[in-house]
Amino acid sequence: MERQTTDAEQELERTGDELEERIDNLDEEIDDSKQAAKARSSENEDPFDADDDADDEDSSGDPAGFDDPEADEDDEDEDF
């Protein structure tokens, strides 16, 4: 006895096939990303490292002009 498939079953099958295809595509993209990351790490280049060095070289700031928020809290404690 042969069973006829309904529209809902056909739609479910079609959706399942689409999901499998999308998962396969994502797996390929993940593999490509891993390979690219491995290649970048082997080059040992960090694109963000240059930004950090620029901040470290700036020594023109005035540490005496630093506003210490804890100093303000200490002043409030003296009123009690």
Where in the chain are the domains?
Answer: 13-39
Going from the C-alpha of 63 to that of each of 58, 71, 73, the distances in angstroms are 12, 15, 20
| pTM attached to this predicted model | 0.44
Range name among 4-8, 21-25, 56-60 with the lowest pLDDT average: 56-60
Q: How confident is the model at residue 59 (pLDDT cuts 50, 70, 90)?
A: low
- 18: pLDDT strictly greater than 90: yes
Q: H-type helices in the chain, by residue range?
A: 7-43, 49-57, 69-77
- Give the integer Cα–Cα distance in Å for 44 and 52: 16
The torsion region of residue 61 among left (phi > 0), alpha (psi -120 to 50) and beta comes to: beta
- Whole-number percent of the chain with pLDDT over 70: 50
Query: Which pLDDT value is given to residue 65?
Result: 64
